[in-house]
Homo-oligomer: A and B are copies of this chain.
Amino acid sequence: MTEDFRFWADEHQKRIENFMMRFLKEESSNSLIHEVCSHGSLNGGKRFRALLCYAIGEISKTDKLILDYIASSIEFIHAYSLIHDDLPAMDNDDLRRGKPTCHIKFNEAQAILAGDGLQSLAFHILSLPSFLIDDQKKLKLINSLSNTIGINGMVKGQSLDIENTLKIGEIKGLEKLQELKTGLLFNFIGSATYLVSDNPSEIINIKITNLCSLLGKVYQITDDILDYESNDKVLGKTSGKDRKDNKLTYVSLLGINEAKKINSKYFDDIKEIINSISGNTIFLNELILKIYQRVH
């Protein structure tokens, strides 16, 4: 990792934290539900999704005051999905980023409500008058995000994952499930960030969308590998849970070596796409490397 990237990532991590905090803390910050929402969304996450927005924005020099809205709405959606995923009825996780999950620190009811409220907040942010893009584009974003995370998207993927009806060898089924659960939100990051750029080019748009789609896969396969190889302390959450829960993952379906091989192939495909894009792809390049090589 270069010094330049480290500085850029730090700066933008702080930027998005401040932006998210503003929405959560501005009003009636003394209520319990705000506390639960803060715990679940301002908890030292890596902000890969927000950084991906800003890194893509660097290519077309998109106004950061605009990217803030997209990045924060995606991070709030991501936070809501983690809070609900961690619930006892779902993945039953006690730890997230090395801290107690919302239902452990508070209780299940407040955790459910915090997730619900953060989802509303994400749509609220995209509808704000202070978000300075065309009304038509705002509606496109809301339309696409609600589809991405809804009953034909993320929620459907999570529902299939909980059902856990896949059998060994059903790699296509797993790919479809992961595409719904994780991939579509990465696709949204690409298309949304490109939609608000000043000089959108259809070719770059397609490249960015393909790149984000591959990155979603890399993110998920890396997650599966980490769950298999890591321990709680490094991971900041309960490791080996997939095996314990008999969940089918890329590792359990393909074996650890084959999973790593596929992951490496997807990563090479991403690099090829990046190399074909003109514009400032330095930060995007390093961010993707960081996602691929992460240890937690």
Q: A-side interface residues toward B, CB under 8 Å?
A: 24, 27-28, 31-34, 36-37, 80, 84, 87, 89-90, 103, 107-110, 112-121, 123-124, 126-129, 135-136, 138-139, 142-143, 146-147, 149-152, 155-156, 158-160, 162-163
Contacts and interface: CB of A to CB of B under 8 A. Distances in A.
Given A124-B146, A127-B146, 20 more contacts: A28-B156, A31-B151, A33-B151, A33-B155, A33-B159, A84-B116, A89-B112, A90-B112, A113-B155, A114-B155, A116-B116, A117-B156, A120-B147, A120-B149, A120-B155, A121-B151, A123-B123, A126-B142, A128-B143, A142-B142
Contacts of A123: 123, 142, 146
Given A146-B123, A147-B124, A150-B121, A89 B116 contact: no
B120 A146 contact: yes
Contact of A120 (B128, B150, B162): B150
Nearest to A34: B151
Contacts of A120: 119, 146-147, 149-151, 155
A109 B162 contact: yes
A115 to B, nearest CB: 7
Contact of A155 (B24, B116, B151, B155): B116
Contacts of A151: 24, 31, 33-34, 37, 114, 117-118, 120-121
A236 B75 CA distance: 40
B117 A155 contact: yes
Copies of this chain, count: 2
Contacts of A116: 80, 84, 115-116, 119, 155
Q: What secondary structure prevails in chain A residues at the interface with B?
A: helix
Contacts of A129: 143
A124 to B, nearest CB: 4
A114 to B, nearest CB: 8
6 contacts: A109-B162, A116-B155, A119-B120, A123-B142, A124-B147, A135-B136
Contacts of A156: 28, 31, 33, 117
B159 A110 contact: yes
B90 A109 contact: yes
Given A33-B155, A139-B139, A159-B33, A107 B127 contact: no
Nearest to A144: B127
Contacts of A159: 31-33, 36, 109-110, 113
